[in-house]
Amino acid sequence: MNDRDEILVRIRDLSVTYHTRLGPVSAVDHVSFDIRRGEILGLVGESGCGKSTLGKALLRMIAPPAEITGGQILFEGEDILTFDERRLRDFRGRKASMIFQDPMTSLNPVQRVEDHLVEAVEVHEQKVDRANVLERVATLIERLGIQKRRIHDYPHQLSGGMRQRVMIGLGLVLNANLIIADEATTSLDVIVEAKLVDQLREIRDQYGVSILVITHNIALVAEIADRVAVMYAGHLVEMGSVYQIFDHPLHPYTRGLLRSVPSIKLDDQEELYKMAGEPPNLTHPPSGCRFHPRCPDRMGLCSQSQPQLREVAPGHWVQCWLYQDHPEKESPTLEVTE
């Protein structure tokens, strides 16, 4: 077993519920998956599918009116849902860190870049030698491709890409094992985005961190991720290696999602595929499989009973009746060959 296969985070039956005026909304509904050490895992889905909520739940950053209503998040074998305030604070920053969508606002505007980094170290490490910390911070910032003298700058003096790299640095300075990047490249232009993507991969190689890339941009995932998880309406509907997902998508939703990506090729005369219907209202989710009202392959069974997430090929999991048996199922179960 090599390092890549060792599991860092084990998420089991995780549920997050928003308490709204219209009733409880299960934004994340009994989701289970693993994040391996040193992998880049892409988490994709439409807006509102629960992917950001899931990302926040991994740091227990769920605040009222939302609440984690069940499950376990085992980080290096320990359930972070049982941590008290102090252990949780220690966990955030030292073990896991998060990068947000808007680099313009995620750094304190009146604090220098250097002070952000030094503060993170001083808050988390008991005895620190200031000179030593400054040295560490300067080295890190250079490795992230920011000139050393820029650490004395204020956030507004840096470009968007540089700010995102500072955010990454804030995770790395304490040697976190997991970085959650929530739409971290979305607000950057394509060239800066491409650079940052390269850099995320380099960082993974250098530091051996696991990176969870949460995005609606499936093309980005194709480029960067080792494995991909697809979410729909609070459920994890498909998960597999990047090759499995892109070459042999199984779930009708994943297939629809892949066909909805516009191509830049000029000879592409094909009309862009539009998925029928809208994402469901989660105060009253559809019965059975949550995707059935929009599914081109639906059967009678789909609206009655919810399929389970099943491993249909090594490492390839899907939650769909097409690939599993049921006594009331009328059409044959599809064989998966990859």
Closest to other proteins by CB, 59 vs 322, is 59
Q: Which stretch binds other proteins (CB under 8 A): 1-9, 164-172, 223-231, 243-251?
A: 164-172
Among the residue ranges 36-44, 66-74, 120-128, 259-267, the one whose residues contact other proteins (CB under 8 A):
120-128
Select from 4-12, 19-27, 109-117, 306-314 the region that touches other proteins (CB under 8 A). Answer: 109-117
Of 287, 292, 322, 293, nearest in space to 305 by CA = 287
Looking at the Cβ atoms of 29 and 183, the one nearer to other proteins is 183
Q: State how far the Cα of 77 lies from the Cα of 96, in Å rounded to an integer.
A: 14
Is 158 a binding residue for other proteins by CB under 8 A? The answer is no
Decide if residue 287 touches other proteins (CB under 8 A): no
Establish if 111 lies at the interface with other proteins (CB under 8 A): yes
The rounded Cα 324 to chain-centroid distance in angstroms is 27
Q: What sign results for the dihedral spanned by CA atoms 179, 184, 188, 190? A: positive
Which CB sits closer to other proteins, 90 or 311? 90
Name residue, tokens 């808050």: 123
Residue 68 DSSP SS3: strand
Closer CB to other proteins, 108 or 283, in the complex: 108
Site for other proteins in 30-69 (CB under 8 A): 59, 61
- Residue of the chain from 28, 73, 98, 172 that contacts other proteins (CB under 8 A): 98
Provide the minimum distance between the beta carbon of 93 and other proteins in the complex, in angstroms, as a whole number.
Answer: 3
Region near other proteins per CB under 8 A, out of 9-17, 152-160, 190-198, 215-223: 152-160
Among 62, 118, 120, 212, binds other proteins (CB under 8 A): 120
Inter-residue long-range contacts of 136-140, CB under 8 Å, 24+ positions, other chains counted: 136/173, 137/169, 137/173, 140/169, 140/172, 140/173
Please give the distance of CA 240 from its chain centroid, rounded to a whole number.
14
Pairing of strands 178-182, 96-99: parallel
Residue window 211-240: x/- pattern of binding to other proteins, with contact defined by CB under 8 A: ------------------------------
Of 94 and 255, the one with the shorter C-beta distance to other proteins is 94
**156, 259, 284, 326: which one contacts other proteins (CB under 8 A)?**
156
From the list 253, 205, 210, 212, the residue with the least C-alpha distance to 232 is 253
- In the complex with other proteins, the residue whose CB is nearer, 76 or 297, is 76
Cα→Cα distances 116→109, 153, 185, Å: 10, 11, 21
d(CA 272, CA 269): 9
- C-alpha span between 119 and 124 (Å, rounded): 8
Stretch that binds other proteins, among 35-43, 103-111, 268-276, 315-323 (CB under 8 A): 103-111
Number of residues in contact with other proteins under rule CB under 8 A:
31
Region from 38-46, 92-100, 143-151, 255-263 binding other proteins, contact rule CB under 8 A: 92-100
Locate tokens 């409880």: which residue? Answer: 24
Tokens for 28, please give them: 């994340």
The residue type found at 172 is L
Q: In what order do the strands lie in the sheet with 178-182?
A: 96-99, 178-182, 210-215, 40-44, 227-232, 235-241, 316-318, 310-313
Q: Which residues bind to other proteins, rule: CB under 8 A?
A: 59, 61, 88-94, 97-98, 100, 102, 105-111, 119-120, 123-124, 154, 156-157, 167, 170-171, 174
